[in-house]
């Protein structure tokens, strides 16, 4: 039986690889790769082998290499470069690798039980910093290498979501301050980082209003006024192009009342050298707890 030929439109490639549509078009003209086919409407279609190659390119870019150095390379050349590039300063722990086995084995119930047990043993803050943060990175790296499929990454995210929502429900109180609105801008569909932020903020006594993902800026402004929030938190994953992060934050800051603080976090903001005035960039989750405590002292 012949293997089905899988082809992706440009939006699908962006979702699969984390490389923006504009970058794909520029690389096509500048470097001669990718080389999409065209459908009957002249829309770009990318074969699966090119998408796999783009995943390798994205990993090298995330490791600090420039497009001009890697986009035109063949798959073997990309793999050689990756083998020369240290992924991290240490190998994953046995516990983290056990989670990967459960994910790849499609054992959703067992994965949720294991995560819940770790949460009880470690406590919420340590669980987020020492288990979920490195596990997210490991899952992402495995996905980029093609060792974990998209549906398996979704299975993992779903189990984490259930575990964290249960934990948040146990500690949340009404009427706490600061009042914080959490969401993402249109185009950002990743919710796990947002949920992790809500967990830390709730643990440190903030009153959280979660809007979920992809909320238009004007709706964020209306929600901020309706809930009388002190802070709006926006999350950006690495899949969002740096210029889109920058412009989105600028527009949000201009639209929100000056008295409402704007905090931004996630892998997508680590590429920003300096924030615009009135925007607080967050690094690790511990930044959130420190900023909440500092907010109360002002």
CATH number at residue 293: 3.40.50.280
One domain, residues 73 and 99: no
Asked whether residue 73 falls in the same domain as residue 36, the answer is yes
In a domain, 2, yes or no: no
User: Which of 84, 113, 129 lies at the terminal end of a domain, its last residue?
Assistant: 84
pLDDT tens-place string over residues 7-37 = 899 988 988 887 888 889 999 999 999 999 9
Residue 130 pLDDT greater than 60, yes or no: yes
Among residues 33, 53, 84, the one where a domain terminates is: 84
DSSP 69: H
Q: What's the longest Cα–Cα distance across the chain?
A: 68
The residue among 125, 132, 141 whose CA lies nearest residue 99 is: 132
If asked whether residues 178 and 136 sit together in one domain, one would say: no
Q: Which structure tokens are listed for 276?
A: 């615009």
Please indicate, yes or no, if residue 62 is contained in any of the structural domains: yes
CA angle 283-230-167, nearest 5°?
60
Determine, yes or no, domain membership for 1. no
pLDDT tens figures, 167-222: 999 987 766 889 999 999 998 888 999 999 999 999 999 999 999 999 999 999 99
Confidence (pTM): 0.76
Q: Are 119 and 127 in contact (CB under 8 A)?
A: yes
What CATH number has the domain bearing residue 64?
1.10.1660.10
Q: How many CB atoms lie within 10 A of CB 53?
A: 21
> Looking up tokens 């690790």, which residue turns up?
284
Asked if residue 191 and residue 132 are part of one domain, the reply reads: no
Residue where a domain stops, chosen among 52, 84, 116:
84
Same domain, 47 and 132: no
Q: How many CB atoms lie within 10 A of CB 3?
A: 6
Asked if residue 282 and residue 238 are part of one domain, the reply reads: yes
Count of domains forming the chain: 3
Helices (H), the chain: 10-17, 21-31, 48-62, 67-70, 75-84, 94-104, 108-122, 124-126, 133-144, 150-171, 192-203, 217-227, 242-255, 285-297
Q: Which whole number is the average pLDDT over 110-127?
A: 96
Q: What are phi and psi of 243, to 5 degrees?
A: -65, -35
Query: Which CATH number is 154's domain given?
Result: 1.10.1240.10
Mean pLDDT of 57-86: 82
DSSP category for residue 3: P
Whether 32 and 123 map to the same domain: the answer is no
- Rounded-to-integer distance, Cα 167 and Cα 163, Å: 6
| Residue 197 domain flag | yes
Coil vs helix vs strand at 265: strand
Query: Are 130 and 122 contacting, i.e. CB atoms less than 8 angstroms apart?
Result: yes
Residue 171: closest CA among 143, 213, 199: 199
Assigned domain for 89 exists? no
Q: Is the pLDDT of residue 102 over 80?
A: yes
Q: Tell me the average pLDDT across 87-114.
A: 88
Q: Which two tokens stand for residue 59?
A: 């990993």
Is 72 in the same domain as 120? Answer: no
Hey, what are 3's tokens?
Answer: 């293997």
For helices 192-203 and 285-297, angle between their N-to-C axes, nearest 10 degrees: 40
Residue 15 lies in a domain: yes
- pLDDT-based confidence at 1, cuts 50/70/90? very low
Residues 177 and 165 in one domain: no
**Torsion angle of C-alpha atoms 195, 241, 146, 45, degrees rounded to 10:** 120
Name the percent of the chain lying above pLDDT 70: 93
Give the C-alpha distances (Å, rounded to integers) separating 263 from 155, 173, 191, 209.
29, 22, 16, 14
What is d(CA 122, CA 173) in angstroms, rounded to the nearest whole number? 22
Residue 225: count of CB within 10 angstroms of its CB: 12
Structural domain boundaries, residue 126: 94-169
Instruction: Say if residue 37 is in the same domain as residue 105.
Output: no
Nearest 5°: CA angle at 139, between 267 and 212? Answer: 55
pLDDT of 134 higher than 70: yes
Asked if the model's pLDDT at residue 286 lies above 90, the reply is no
Same domain, 101 and 149: yes
Range in 54-58, 97-101, 261-265, 284-288 the model is least confident about:
284-288
pLDDT at 2 over 60: no
Q: Please state, in angstroms and rounded to a whole number, the distance separating the CA atoms of residues 265 and 121.
A: 27
Locus of tokens 């783009």 = 54
Pick the range with the lowest mean pLDDT from 75-84, 85-94, 161-170: 85-94
Q: Are residues 177 and 292 in the same domain?
A: yes
């Amino acid at each position: 039986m012949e293997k089905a030929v899988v082809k992706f439109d440009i939006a699908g490639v962006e979702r699969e690889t984390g490389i923006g549509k504009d970058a794909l078009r520029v690389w096509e003209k500048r470097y001669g790769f990718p080389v999409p086919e065209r459908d009957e409407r002249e829309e770009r279609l990318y074969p699966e082998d090119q998408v796999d190659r783009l995943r390798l390119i994205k990993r090298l870019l995330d490791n600090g290499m420039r497009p001009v150095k890697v986009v035109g390379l063949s798959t073997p050349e990309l793999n050689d470069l990756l083998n020369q590039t240290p992924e991290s300063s240490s190998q994953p722990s046995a516990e983290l690798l056990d989670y990967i086995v459960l994910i790849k084995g499609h054992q959703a119930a067992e994965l949720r039980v294991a995560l819940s047990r770790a949460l009880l043993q470690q406590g919420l803050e340590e669980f987020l910093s020492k288990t979920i943060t490195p596990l997210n990175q490991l899952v992402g790296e495995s996905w980029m290498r093609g060792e974990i499929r998209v549906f398996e990454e979704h299975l993992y995210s779903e189990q984490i979501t259930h575990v964290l929502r249960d934990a948040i429900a146990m500690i949340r109180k009404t009427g706490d301050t600061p009042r914080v609105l959490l969401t993402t801008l249109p185009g950002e569909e990743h919710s796990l980082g947002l949920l992790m932020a809500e967990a830390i903020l709730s643990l440190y006594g903030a009153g959280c209003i979660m809007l979920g993902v992809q909320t238009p800026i004007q709706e964020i402004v209306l929600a901020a006024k309706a809930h009388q929030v002190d802070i709006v938190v926006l999350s950006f994953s690495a899949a969002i192009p740096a210029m889109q992060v920058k412009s989105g934050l600028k527009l949000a800051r201009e639209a929100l009342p000056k008295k409402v603080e704007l905090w931004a976090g996630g892998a997508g903001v680590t590429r920003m050298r300096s924030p615009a005035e009135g925007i607080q960039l967050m690094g690790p989750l511990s930044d959130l707890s420190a900023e909440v405590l500092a907010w109360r002292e002002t």
